Structure 1
Amino acid sequence: MHPHRQGRRKALPLSLTNAIPALCPLKPFLRTYRPELVDTFRLSVPIIIAQLGVVLMGVTDNLFVGRLLGAVPLGAAGLATSLSFLMSSVGVGGLSVVAALVAQANSQDNAPLINRLFRAGLWASVLMSVVLGGLSVILAFYFDLFGQSPDVTRLARDFMLILSASVLPLLVFVATRQLCDGLRKPRVAMLITLSALLLNALFNYVFITGVGPFPAWGLMGSAAATLLSRVYMAVAMLVYVYWQPSFKPYLLAEFAKLPVRAEINQILRLGIPGGLTFFFEVATFSLAVVIVGWLGDDRLAAHQIAINMASVTYMMATGISSAAAIRVGAAIGFSDVDGALRAGVAAFALSLSLMTLAAALFLTANDWLVSLYIRDNPDVMRIAASLVIIAGFFQLSDGVQVVALGSLRGMADVNVPTLMSLVSYWVIALPLSYVLAFPLGLDAIGVWIGLLTGLTVAAALLTTRFFRRIRRLRQAAISTLTA
């Protein structure tokens, strides 16, 4: 029996309202959803750890840079990392649709299609990396447009040029991981990511300070550490997939002759809107870095510390979102609307639980968390501690909106969510951040209040969209049965 069908002891209530945990008695909810929660949790944990690896490399870089080099290099590294990830976010978000497509094909026992999707994902990753890496290089040469201080501009430009070269291995790793995630084999990506984080930490120390025969490269050594770590991740992931016997049925020699142009087009058609949705959110936070940089180097360093923490919890929520996309996609492959709803609701419940814990940590241990990054600059520490408190408040909105996106991606619904994200982040969050920070004089705190508002609007719009789509699918199924 397929995992998403396990444990169905009760029929799902027809009312969507009854499906929302906050409005259900706890015991009936747990009785109905326990199998769904367990399955989503088991699938999510390895994906969360793998997702965290993408952002934790930036966190590791900033920890070493902040401790070893000081506030100005920390601000420069944070700005360059944010803008580089902004460029690659279209590819990272766009390729995530492959796992949902693989899950649908797997639910239909279609091995040739899984092979085509895998190879098409690799081709799409190469195409995207050429475009996005090139744009990252161009952006680095026009860093003066961001209006940062001369020292930050100079350091960030060189840092970003090195990171641009790492877009290709990053996207190849993400594309290969989609096969594993779609087939519900996410543990290897988790292990590769953990080992890459250890390598990244080692490379940071060696290349920044200069150990043995290695010269002290300072800030550029941190960028080189990320590049080498991402190359390792891509190579290790490919080696595992082609070496592991469980993948052999999907990598048969006769499948290699099958054309993949249609699958490449499908991935780009569905993935680019999905990638743009991810881009709009990442761009909002990246441009918020620029706005905060206009307020001064101390604000920029403080913002980078707080945004690093928020990025960690966000990537944890994206792991649950990816699990939602896989499980919803598998249910849709079986034409099981109730299963899709249960998978989505379970993901919402898990994400809310996780982000509630994160919010509690941010609100109660903000000073200690900031001290992990920097200790010798009281002004930066004070500002960062206040920003971490606001980050605590937007944890719930962030967790809800990203799970709603994943659930909609599992239903191949990408165009309208992209527009919703555009409105939430670029029409509401960014303009409000600027107005609160400058005309109203709320400084960096105003920027973060604007971000909180945009995330909350996105969460409301996308969640409503998910439940409405489920209702329409159910009505269509009922109409088909009664016709």
Structure 2
Amino acid sequence: MVAALRPLPGIYRPEFADTFRLSVPIIIAQLGVVLMGVTDNLFVGRLLGAVPLGAAGLANSLSFLMSSIGVGGLTVVAALVSKAHSQHDAHAINRLFRGGLRVAILFSVVFGGLSALLAFNFSLFGQTAEVTRLARDFMLILSLSLFPLLVFVAARQLADGLRHPRVAMAITMSALALNAFFNYVLIKGVGPFPELGLMGSATATLLSRLFMAGAMLAYIFRSARFQPYLQKAFRRLPSGEEVKTILALGVPGGLTFFFEVATFSLAVVIVGWLGEDRLAAHQIAINMASVTYMMATGISSAAAIRVSAAVGRGSREGVFRAGVAAFMLSISFMSLAAVLFLTANDWLVSLYIRDNPEVMRIAASLVIIGGFFQLSDGVQVVALGSLRGLSDVNVPTVITLFSYWIVALPLSYLLAFPLHMDAIGVWIGLLLGLSIAAVLLTIRFFRRLGRINYGVPLETIPQGISS
């Protein structure tokens, strides 16, 4: 135990390097996904103005909220694949792949339907008539794109779990370029393409996601590196138990993602009550924070894969080192992001909009607060990934529910309206919620490690809240 706790460079250098090598392609792929939303906002803000920008941002946030349980829930598959791979169980890997695709289809029907239902009742959010009209139509198209998105997420879990994350990275970056192209030609109607305005941006997202799902599946089924896990004989193996396992771990795991995404999505609604200028400013600032957060989720995914592989080997020390390396990498990266947010906030805002000084002023102040919660955001998401590698999903769900819905959202409303702190008050509430989550989830991870004995399989340890 003492040896495992000593931060000796000779011990942690290879751990840090391995986490970094696995994280970078995942980070780039995650960055590509969130940059599609950023690309939409950049084109909408520059070509159509502040009101369409606010509507697109609101629709994107609420649509992502509807998909968050599915996206977050499917990420457990990579950890399960990694564990099976460390145990040389090709049959289990095949069943997990097929089970993940079945769960993706189920999730797309459920959450796509809920997203469309929400779009038809957009007036419930109390936005202006113009924002409501634009956001409703935008969100309906995004609801259709949920199916290819979840199929892509499910398929990439096989590649990530087998430590081939560059596959999803290349496909995502190609889709990002495709998304930018379709945004440009469909918003304004360039050449033979129709002028669709704001709906052109939503259509660009749909087309890009269809490409991602098709390219990911085509690569997996045609690449020799995946053939040992896709043999015809494996297709007759039942995958019902794997579906149950993915749902049992994925739904609570997805809820932890949902509670955070819901907090930020509902924060958009609260800011929308303050006015269109503040909504546009919030969307600019939250886009920047989303970029760094999604990059941190890449490190979190690497943590889950490496921790789960150590579980498969029965190595408690390997679990500890994998977790610590991920925390170190995330803290280093998010510290750099915090410095950028605090020192270049005006320049970052100018990338989105230049013709509205009031929106630029508010957004620049929000980016500063975003700089302060970078560390909290990075720590809490890596703690979640490390706990997911331990198949510990129930208690983290409770922690995130408390941090975001009991603390962050009520406090954001209180600071924004009764205490008249405006949009800045909303962001201070988010900062405090993230900080509480970071502390509690980190404590949870190391307490779980403290109860593990050498040679005792981690999955035999109870996950009760009292632990």
TM-score where L is the length of structure 2: 0.97
Query: Is the 8 Å Cα contact of residues 315 and 455 (structure 2) preserved in structure 1?
Result: no
- The Cα offsets for residues 319-362 of structure 1, whole Å up to 9 and x where unpaired, read as 00000000000000111011001000000000000000000000
**Partner SS for 2:352:** coil
- The Cα offsets for residues 402-448 of structure 1, whole Å up to 9 and x where unpaired, read as 00000000000000000000000000000000000000000000000
- The Cα offsets for residues 152-195 of structure 1, whole Å up to 9 and x where unpaired, read as 00000000000000000000000000000000000010000110
User: Aligned match of 1:95 in 71, 74, 77?
Assistant: 74
1:390 corresponds to: 369
- The Cα offsets for residues 435-477 of structure 1, whole Å up to 9 and x where unpaired, read as 0000000000000000000000000000000000011113784
User: Aligned match of 1:46 in 25, 35, 44?
Assistant: 25
Alpha-carbon distance between aligned partners in 2 of 1:47 and 1:366, rounded to the nearest angstrom: 26
1:272 corresponds to: 251
User: Aligned match of 2:40 in 61, 65, 68?
Assistant: 61
Residue 212 of structure 1, CA deviation: 1.2
2:2 corresponds to: 13
Alpha-carbon distance between aligned partners in 2 of 1:451 and 1:322, rounded to the nearest angstrom: 23
User: Aligned match of 1:379 in 358, 363, 367?
Assistant: 358
1:35 corresponds to: 14
2:151 corresponds to: 172
Alpha-carbon distance between aligned partners in 2 of 1:430 and 1:232, rounded to the nearest angstrom: 36
Query: Is the 8 Å Cα contact of residues 25 and 165 (structure 2) preserved in structure 1?
Result: yes
Alpha-carbon distance between aligned partners in 1 of 2:223 and 2:78, rounded to the nearest angstrom: 19
Residue 13 of structure 1, CA deviation: 2.4
**Partner SS for 1:474:** coil
Alpha-carbon distance between aligned partners in 1 of 2:96 and 2:433, rounded to the nearest angstrom: 34
Alpha-carbon distance between aligned partners in 1 of 2:51 and 2:376, rounded to the nearest angstrom: 31
1:127 corresponds to: 106
One-letter amino acid matched to 2:2? P
Q: Please state if 1:76 is matched with 2:55.
A: yes
1:3 corresponds to: none
Alpha-carbon distance between aligned partners in 1 of 2:108 and 2:10, rounded to the nearest angstrom: 46
2:306 corresponds to: 327
Alpha-carbon distance between aligned partners in 2 of 1:186 and 1:249, rounded to the nearest angstrom: 18
Residue 14 of structure 1, CA deviation: 5.7
Count of aligned pairs: 458
2:465 corresponds to: none
User: Aligned match of 2:184 in 205, 211, 218?
Assistant: 205
Q: Please state if 1:405 is matched with 2:405.
A: no
One-letter amino acid matched to 2:268? V
Query: Is the 8 Å Cα contact of residues 33 and 176 (structure 2) preserved in structure 1?
Result: no
Alpha-carbon distance between aligned partners in 2 of 1:96 and 1:224, rounded to the nearest angstrom: 26
1:8 corresponds to: none
- The Cα offsets for residues 181-225 of structure 1, whole Å up to 9 and x where unpaired, read as 000000010000110000000000000000112111000000000
- The Cα offsets for residues 114-168 of structure 1, whole Å up to 9 and x where unpaired, read as 0000000000000000000000000001111101011100000000000000000
Alpha-carbon distance between aligned partners in 1 of 2:189 and 2:456, rounded to the nearest angstrom: 65
Residue 478 of structure 1, CA deviation: 11
Residue 265 of structure 1, CA deviation: 0.5
Q: Output the aligned Cα RMSD.
A: 1.2
Alpha-carbon distance between aligned partners in 2 of 1:211 and 1:187, rounded to the nearest angstrom: 33
User: Aligned match of 2:333 in 354, 357, 376?
Assistant: 354
Q: Please state if 1:414 is matched with 2:393.
A: yes
Alignment of 1:84-483 (within 5 A): 84-474=63-453, 477=456
Query: Is the 8 Å Cα contact of residues 145 and 206 (structure 2) preserved in structure 1?
Result: yes
One-letter amino acid matched to 1:110? D
Alpha-carbon distance between aligned partners in 2 of 1:447 and 1:255, rounded to the nearest angstrom: 52
Alpha-carbon distance between aligned partners in 1 of 2:245 and 2:255, rounded to the nearest angstrom: 16
**CA spacing shift, 1:252–1:68, aligned 2, 3 Å:** same
**Stretches of structure 1 lacking an aligned partner (at least 5 in a row):** 1-11
**Partner SS for 2:451:** helix
Residue 105 of structure 1, CA deviation: 0.2
Query: Is the 8 Å Cα contact of residues 314 and 457 (structure 2) preserved in structure 1?
Result: no
Alpha-carbon distance between aligned partners in 2 of 1:234 and 1:344, rounded to the nearest angstrom: 31
TM-score where L is the length of structure 1: 0.94
Query: Is the 8 Å Cα contact of residues 263 and 405 (structure 2) preserved in structure 1?
Result: yes
1:7 corresponds to: none
1:4 corresponds to: none
- The Cα offsets for residues 86-132 of structure 1, whole Å up to 9 and x where unpaired, read as 01111110000000000000000000000000000000000000000
Alpha-carbon distance between aligned partners in 2 of 1:445 and 1:313, rounded to the nearest angstrom: 20
Alpha-carbon distance between aligned partners in 2 of 1:314 and 1:291, rounded to the nearest angstrom: 21
Alpha-carbon distance between aligned partners in 2 of 1:424 and 1:293, rounded to the nearest angstrom: 23
- The Cα offsets for residues 26-75 of structure 1, whole Å up to 9 and x where unpaired, read as xx3x2220000000000000001111122111100000000000000000
Q: After the TM superposition, list the runs of 4 or more consecutive aligned residues in structure 1 that deviate by more than 4 angstroms.
A: none
One-letter amino acid matched to 2:72? G
- The Cα offsets for residues 277-319 of structure 1, whole Å up to 9 and x where unpaired, read as 0000000000000000000000000000000000000000000
1:9 corresponds to: none
Alpha-carbon distance between aligned partners in 1 of 2:285 and 2:394, rounded to the nearest angstrom: 31
* Percent identical: 74
One-letter amino acid matched to 1:13? V
One-letter amino acid matched to 1:307? I
**Partner SS for 1:379:** helix
